[in-house]
A and B are shown apart, each in its own frame.
Chain A
Amino acid sequence: MSKETVVARHPLDELFRADRFPHILCPGCGIGAAMHCLAQAMTESGIPLDRHVCVSGIGCSSRVPGYLNVDSYHTTHGRSIPFATGLALVRPDLEVTVFAGDGDLFAIGGNHFIHAARRNVDLNVICINNFNYGMTGGQAGPTTPFGAKATTAPFGNWERPFNLPYLASAVGAVFVARWTTLHVRQLKEAVRSVMKKKGFAFIEVLSPCPTGFGRPNGIGDGLEEMELYRERCVVDHKASLPDMDIDLRDKKRPIVLGNFLNLDRPHYQPGKIPQETSHG
């Protein structure tokens, strides 16, 4: 007979607001795993927790800052990036991470994303991509695959989705990566590395949403989606960004992961004219 052991302390106790639990996330959701990676990266970053700031918009992913025991701002839908921009410009000594979903960052907040990347604002942007609007019950969004089912695309989505790493690199992000909630070590390492980096860093995290996306699209529960990641994910840091569209339903198409881009470019410091680097 196994004996139950109650641990007095968990290494990440200080990172979470225990009085906020239980969280609102569904069984099988990947956001908790990504949150854990962020918490670990914060701990290992060498930056004191009092200097970490986490900003989000609205949606399931955007609830994460509320569970983290750092200065946290759960703002309006789509506006996490400009809010974080104002904050980071006033306190450039703080490590500001934006943690939000694909609909928040790329539909309603899309304009802010492209301009913050273009300016190279010193932000870490972590995007949970679960291919739908989860909190409102599974509507189609900017990353929903063509043909996939959603409550607002009952006959299949007739829009083409964004390829987020390709988009982020095109608009000026200096760090671009894609991982899944299965690849927790790589994800944590990527988040930790961008905390050391100045400029606009973007990490896409593919994450199961069994309630909103998995079930209506024949993928099944969270575990089955994780299994799918295990079978079909290919790590290729030198992958061609234009060819990285994702469709979980297409069994033949690999899901390409990696740290694709890591550039050094002067970050946004209004009032200071950066030295022009050569464009050779």
Chain B
Amino acid sequence: MSGDHACAEGSLAAGLGFFAGYPITPSTEIAEHLAIRLSQVGGTFAQMEDELGSMAAIVGASVAGARSMTATSGPGFSLMMENVGLAVMMEVPCVVVNVQRGSPSTGLPTAVGQADVMQARWGSHGDYAIVAYSPASPQEFFDLTLRAFDTADTYRVPVFLMADEVVGHMTERVVIPPASRITRVQRKRLPRLKGNGRFLSFHTNGKDLVPALAHAGEGYRAHFTSLTHDERGYPTNSPDVHDRLVRRLVNKIKLNAGRIVEAEEYRLKDAEVVVVAYGCMSRSARRAVDMAREKGIRAGLLRPVTLWPFPESRLRELDKGKKKKAFVVAELNLGQMAREVERCIGRPPATLTHAGGKVLEPEAVLEVLAEAGR
């Protein structure tokens, strides 16, 4: 199964109820697959007029109670950023897949890239926090899509799947667990109201920072606005309310990072050179680590599975100890996550970068890591 199809199947396993999208290479197979499959399971597939509409539609579908998703690539991701902000502000769970290609602009539509990873973190305006996963295989694309919906529902936040063209288009064995073995997080819901009671639809108990969600048509008569709003959901111009709201939107992810962050570690135990790579490039890096070990270089791989939140505490831990380790970042952009690694370890790592269009081969990674370890 291809990565794109695995993603589509993962969303169905998660109970996807609504998909809206606009065709764009190399993500189109997700939409095509769901166009067939969603109607078979009673869900709704809608092809929209553009990605602005796709993103708005999945937010609307989610407040109506459906698990919802869209899929795109760089150019469409840019258009979606407007209503990613809406989902952040209204705290509406949804999943956005970006199968990255060569960019900027139309770039290399049919070839691989990883240059949207910072846009995933900062692409919409204002201060906010989201969660972004980076799958490295079709199997993981399936697994992480499933998990993305749980994370979105748990934190009432848009969750990104930052795949790349290689992972989206490559075909590998994918094991889909039986439905009975798949568990789903349930959205935290407001208690059903009788009559015309009033409630605080954006109230949190101050501990987990995530308010319960009122779906449309269930008698809550809740107000959702993209404006800064108080606990009732009503607009306000108060700078204090604004600061409290935005701080909570950031903190509900930041303070839960320990629960959200995932990273795979490979041969790191005694590693003196740590390669940081994600998505398709992590597979090249893994081979390079094995090749380095054969040459007697103690290399290991740290593969962020969540790009956001970034596994920064793990990186800092790895950098502790008597002897300073060497760090290498290998990625298909000109050093976006390398900056993040630099922020964590306090010095620039060695880098292997390329603007995209091809995956850098293990030999190239080996060369840089051997040099860095010297």
**A residues at B contact (CB < 8 Å):** 14, 17, 19-20, 49-51, 53, 55, 58, 65-66, 69-76, 78-79, 81-91, 93-94, 111-112, 114-115, 270-271
Contact = CB atoms under 8 A, between A and B. Distances in A.
Given A19-B232, A76-B226, 11 more contacts: A66-B223, A69-B221, A74-B225, A78-B52, A82-B52, A83-B56, A84-B60, A88-B60, A93-B217, A111-B52, A271-B38
Contacts of B49: 82, 111-112, 114-115
A172 B300 CA distance: 60
A94 B216 contact: yes
A62 to B, nearest CB: 10
Instruction: For chain B, give the interface size range.
Output: 35 or more
B335 interface: no
Contacts of A114: 49
A86 B56 contact: yes
Contacts of B213: none
Most chain B C-beta atoms within 10 Å of own C-beta, residue among A66, A90, A91:
A90
Most chain B C-beta atoms within 10 Å of own C-beta, residue among A76, A78, A81, A82:
A82
B82 A76 contact: yes
Contact of A86 (B59, B214, B219, B235): B59
A186 B54 CA distance: 35
Contact of B56 (A65, A75, A115, A270): A75
Contacts of A70: 221
Contacts of B219: 50
7 contacts: A19-B234, A66-B235, A74-B225, A83-B83, A87-B60, A91-B64, A271-B39
B60 A86 contact: yes
B110 to A, nearest CB: 26
B96 to A, nearest CB: 14
A273 to B, nearest CB: 10
A20 B225 CA distance: 13
Given A90-B44, A91-B65, A79 B227 contact: no
B86 A75 contact: yes
Interface of B: 17-18, 20, 38-39, 44-46, 48-50, 52-54, 56-66, 68, 82-83, 85-86, 90, 196, 198, 214, 216-227, 232, 234-235
Contacts of A111: 49-50, 52-53
Given A14-B196, A73-B60, A91-B216, A86 B68 contact: yes
A169 to B, nearest CB: 19
A72 B53 contact: no
A65 to B, nearest CB: 7
A17 B58 CA distance: 27
B60 A55 contact: yes
Given A20-B234, A91-B217, A271-B39, A85 B223 contact: no
B53 A90 contact: no
A200 to B, nearest CB: 14
Contacts of A270: 39, 44-46
B39 A85 contact: no
A86 B57 contact: yes
A82 B54 CA distance: 7
Nearest to A73: B224
B224 A86 contact: no
B112 to A, nearest CB: 30
Contacts of A271: 38-39, 44-45
A200 B66 CA distance: 23
B248 to A, nearest CB: 20
Given A76-B82, A82-B53, A271-B45, A53 B217 contact: yes
Given A76-B82, A91-B64, A271-B38, A86 B46 contact: yes
Contacts of B227: 74
Contact of A58 (B18, B60, B226): B226
Most chain A C-beta atoms within 10 Å of own C-beta, residue among B45, B58, B217:
B217
Contacts of B54: 82
B330 to A, nearest CB: 38
Most chain B C-beta atoms within 10 Å of own C-beta, residue among A51, A73, A112:
A73
A14 B46 CA distance: 35
B217 A76 contact: no
Nearest to A95: B217
A126 B204 CA distance: 35
A82 B223 contact: no
B201 to A, nearest CB: 10
Nearest to A71: B216
B234 A66 contact: yes
Contacts of B44: 89-90, 270-271
A86 B58 contact: yes
A86 B61 contact: yes
Contact of B226 (A20, A75, A84): A75
Nearest to B58: A86
A58 B225 CA distance: 10
Nearest to A20: B234
Contact of B216 (A19, A53, A74, A82): A53
A86 B18 contact: yes
Contacts of A76: 56, 82-83, 85-86, 226
B46 A50 contact: no
B18 to A, nearest CB: 5
A116 to B, nearest CB: 8
A53 B62 CA distance: 14
A89 B46 contact: yes
Nearest to B224: A73
A260 B285 CA distance: 66
Contacts of B45: 270-271
Contact of A82 (B18, B57, B62, B221): B57
Contacts of A115: 48-49, 53
B59 A83 contact: yes
A72 B221 CA distance: 7
Contacts of A82: 20, 48-49, 52-54, 56-57, 60
B216 to A, nearest CB: 5
